[in-house]
A and B are shown apart, each in its own frame.
Chain A
Amino acid sequence: MSALRRKLRIERIRKLFTLLIGFVYLFPMYIAVSNSFKPYGEIINSPLSLPLHATMDN
């Protein structure tokens, strides 16, 4: 029983790791999309956050 449980846990860690690779790979896309909705000051001050004062002026 414990061997099966261990196998399931390895499988779950593997899935999480896979998802992590995917998200890290898409990180520049997230930056490009989120910064395109920020006013200029917010890009400089908080480059990583989601746009707080979203603007369509860009």
Chain B
Amino acid sequence: MKHNKLHDFLLAMPGFLIYTVFMIVPLGMCFFYSFTNWDGISPKYKMIGLKNFRRLFADGDFYNALKITLIITVITVLLYNVLGALLAVFLNRKNRACAFTKSAIFVPAVLSSVVVAFIWSYMMQTDGGVINAVLGLFGMPPFDFYATPLRTIVMISVIIAWNGLGLFVVIYMATLSTIPTEMLEAAEVDGANGFQRFFRVTLPLMMPGITINSILSIAGGLKQYDHVKVITGGGPGGATQTITLLSVEKAFEYNRRGYSSAIILVLFVMIVVLSVIQLSITKRREVKY
């Protein structure tokens, strides 16, 4: 078959066009608008240089949103990876109980995040909420999940982790199945106990799964929007607002598209920097055998 430059170019064209129209052009527009004072509607706007960014870094709302986003990210990353890896190792055997629990853990992953957030938001109510009814069965006093922003944010992080855990367990189980059983048997013959086998053999060999899962969970935590939007809507007064919620509010309620573009640009840079740092750390720890 004839092989030339034009042929290659034409074959790559559809994918490249779609990627350009839906990724590169919007990113460029976001970059451009973050230096203007566009309000999202009017045809006139002017360049204001770095004023958006200067205002952003003096904005208390932005720092609060950053704090909330980082809390959500830290808690969900820990829950996804620690619980996910432990469950994958625990459920990695063939019997009916394990099969049932595997599918039970995957069920929430196929639900819409709005559905999940709605179910949990009425389970969390102080009066007539299901969680407090269960606590009451064990004789504990009712717990007000909406009392402080921190409590609500921690609870929302748990809900997000409940929703997405299935996917992470599946990825970890796929990684586990690539570990040759001879290694574990050899460790057992050499007299390693369960903990040693997990930390010295299984965990280092699971490193590729940990790499992909931590990238997915860090990016997902920083981009978190839908659960928070449904459960608290960012309220009261922006106390539980994440960065994405803040930027959507600035763009469509305050009509400050330029400012919201600046917020999104800062988030974009943050995700890229964190992913690169994280990738370089975990890649170094992957072992070859």
Contacts and interface: CB of A to CB of B under 8 A. Distances in A.
Partners in one complex: yes
Given A26-B104, A31-B123, A18 B130 contact: no
Give the size range of B's interface with the partner. Answer: 20 to 34
Given A29-B107, A48-B133, A48-B134, A43 B101 contact: no
Contacts, number: 52
A26 B104 CA distance: 6
A18 B128 contact: no
B97 A19 contact: yes
Nearest to B165: A25
A28 B120 contact: yes
B97 A28 contact: no
Contacts of A21: 87, 101, 104
A37 to B, nearest CB: 15
Interface string B184-200: 00000000000000000
A22 B128 contact: no
Contacts of A16: 97
A16 B101 CA distance: 11
Given A18-B90, A18-B91, A43-B128, A28 B100 contact: no
Given A18-B97, A22-B100, A28-B119, 15 more contacts: A15-B97, A16-B97, A18-B90, A18-B91, A21-B87, A22-B101, A22-B104, A25-B105, A25-B107, A29-B119, A31-B119, A31-B123, A32-B119, A44-B128, A47-B133
